[in-house]
Amino acid sequence: MATVIPFKGIRYSTGAGAMNLLITPPYDVINEKKQEYFYQLHPNNIIRLEYGKSYSSDTEEDNRHTRAAAVFSSWLKEGILKKENSPAIYLCQERFNHEGRERTRNSFICSVKLEPYEKGIIIPHEETIPKHKADRLSLMQACQANFSPIFGLYVDPDRTIEKITCDQTQRDPDISFTDEDNHHHSLWTVTDNDVISQVQRFMAGQRIFIADGHHRYETALAYRDWRREQEKAPLEEYSYDFVMMSLVNINDPGLVILPTHRLVRNNIESEKLFDLLSDYFELEIFPLGEGHENLNIFMSALKSRLKPDKICETTQHRSIIGLYTGNGGLYLLTLKEAISLPSYAPAGHSPVWQKMDVSLLHYFIFKKLLAVGEDKWTDENHVHYNRNEDDLLSIVDAGNYQFAFFLNPTLIEEITFVALNGEKLPQKSTYFYPKIITGLVINLL
């Protein structure tokens, strides 16, 4: 099963600057405006390595990836970044407030052996986009490092890892700071060989589910193969046979999953859409009110009808999806009971996968009813992904997209069920909150 090892991590030195000024979220949630913000925040911000600026004058020899490599090398030479003297794993805690309740999410950063998906040791649950992997591969080839950890999950109902490492977190953390979202981060460097060995033995019986970072994992596989070809390496284990991961117990009370909603542009009138939907869904209207005053009531109603926690082949539930058509038109779409849907799912998918709201939305509503197929799901001319409910309403009212579809969070039981079944969900089916930050530890390959 999973092979985890300690590694000599590279971390910011104490003189590099305040940690809250040096870290960022993962690259895939950073837009151009946020990129500029992080550039201005501090000259040593990790943005210069993880997601540097591109310019019209860029060439094959001088581009954001080659510049990242130059900055990385410079920071190491100048002592802005320092490498550990001994291999370590890194215990992390993040305290944050969600829906009025304080939570703590525990994790540990380590190096995990790369395995092909077919082995069933590292398990994905989402589709990936080739162009995103090409960009990440170019960065890895230039810098030969992991700047941000992949977010992985393991199953530990007895919280064994926390018991093994509890003594380590009794001392003062090596890093402690509060970020701009008022989340408090603590990190402990663990070099105790006995503790590390106990963690390794436990993880040797575990599968790892990829929560966030499918593109980075598949890029790491491609990078490993590239390095093997470059070096004509024998079949031994090298640093590039591993990838940095931040591992969280699936049973951790601080694990939070949020939904990502969808905006759609299509040449279809609202009345025609209602005609198509009414054969299969009950439509319940919610007046939006002035200034979106009823949006919270609508979202609460959507969330109150979440599916049961127990997911298995025989579980029956009624899928529910939110819809906004503009001009104050908010609707709850509830799949009719005992309705027989026409065939819409690709062959080989389980009943659980077919009943998931995100599968129903993408494959039945988008593809079957609206003729918005897979090739358009990554094209912002047709589909846009957004988590802010107010933004979705404003975007539709402005005429930039025709319809907004609101989803409930995907359940962790659904994710693990379909993942173990070898199935993948459409992209952005899950949003694990908060994102694992970039800049705590770097892994040299």
Give tens-digit pLDDT for 334-376: 988 767 777 787 888 988 898 899 999 999 999 999 999 999 9
Measured CA to CA, the distance from residue 37 to residue 53 in angstroms comes to 12
Q: Is 50 exceeded by the pLDDT of residue 435?
A: yes
Q: Is 60 exceeded by the pLDDT of residue 439?
A: yes
- The tens digit of pLDDT for each residue in 93-105 reads 999 999 899 999 9
Distinct helix (H) and strand (E) counts, the chain: 13, 21
Q: Of the ranges 275-279, 313-317, 387-391, which one carries the lowest mean pLDDT score?
A: 313-317
Most confidently modeled range among 145-159, 312-326, 370-384: 145-159
Structure tokens at 305: 């009808």
What confidence score (pLDDT) does residue 314 get? 42
What confidence score (pLDDT) does residue 307 get? 58
- Coil, helix or strand for 35? helix
What confidence score (pLDDT) does residue 287 get? 87
For range 135-141, the mean pLDDT? 97
Measured CA to CA, the distance from residue 417 to residue 281 in angstroms comes to 26
Answer yes or no: are the C-beta atoms of 204 and 1 closer than 8 Å.
yes
The DSSP secondary structure of 262-309, one letter per residue, reads: EEE--S--HHHHHHHHHTTEEEEEEE--GGGTTHHHHHHHHHHTPPPS
Three-point CA angle 295, 299, 300, nearest 5°: 115
Which tops the pLDDT comparison, 311 or 332?
332
H or E element in which residue 329 lies: strand 329-335
Cα Rg of the chain, angstroms: 23
pLDDT band for position 267 (cuts 50, 70, 90): confident
Q: Of the ranges 109-118, 265-274, 301-310, 424-433, which one carries the lowest mean pLDDT score?
A: 301-310
What confidence score (pLDDT) does residue 309 get? 47
- Tell me the percentage of the chain whose pLDDT exceeds 90: 82
What confidence score (pLDDT) does residue 351 get? 85
Q: Is 90 exceeded by the pLDDT of residue 442?
A: yes
What confidence score (pLDDT) does residue 308 get? 55
Q: Of the ranges 122-136, 167-181, 308-322, which one carries the lowest mean pLDDT score?
A: 308-322
Is the bond preceding 253 in cis, omega lying within 30 degrees of 0? no
Short-list 140, 149, 17, 150, CA closest to 69: 140
Q: Is 70 exceeded by the pLDDT of residue 7?
A: yes
Q: Is 90 exceeded by the pLDDT of residue 131?
A: no
Q: Is 60 exceeded by the pLDDT of residue 116?
A: yes
How many angstroms from the chain centroid is the CA of residue 339?
34
- Global confidence as pTM: 0.92
- Coil, helix or strand for 331? strand
What confidence score (pLDDT) does residue 159 get? 97
Answer yes or no: are the C-beta atoms of 80 and 13 closer than 8 Å.
yes
For range 24-43, the mean pLDDT? 96
For range 172-193, the mean pLDDT? 98
For range 395-418, the mean pLDDT? 94
- The tens digit of pLDDT for each residue in 270-314 reads 999 999 999 999 999 998 888 788 899 999 999 887 655 455 554
User: Across the chain, what does the average pLDDT equal?
Assistant: 93
pLDDT band for position 318 (cuts 50, 70, 90): low
- Count CB-CB contacts under 10 A for residue 166: 11
Measured CA to CA, the distance from residue 388 to residue 263 in angstroms comes to 11
What confidence score (pLDDT) does residue 337 get? 78
Which tops the pLDDT comparison, 292 or 385?
385
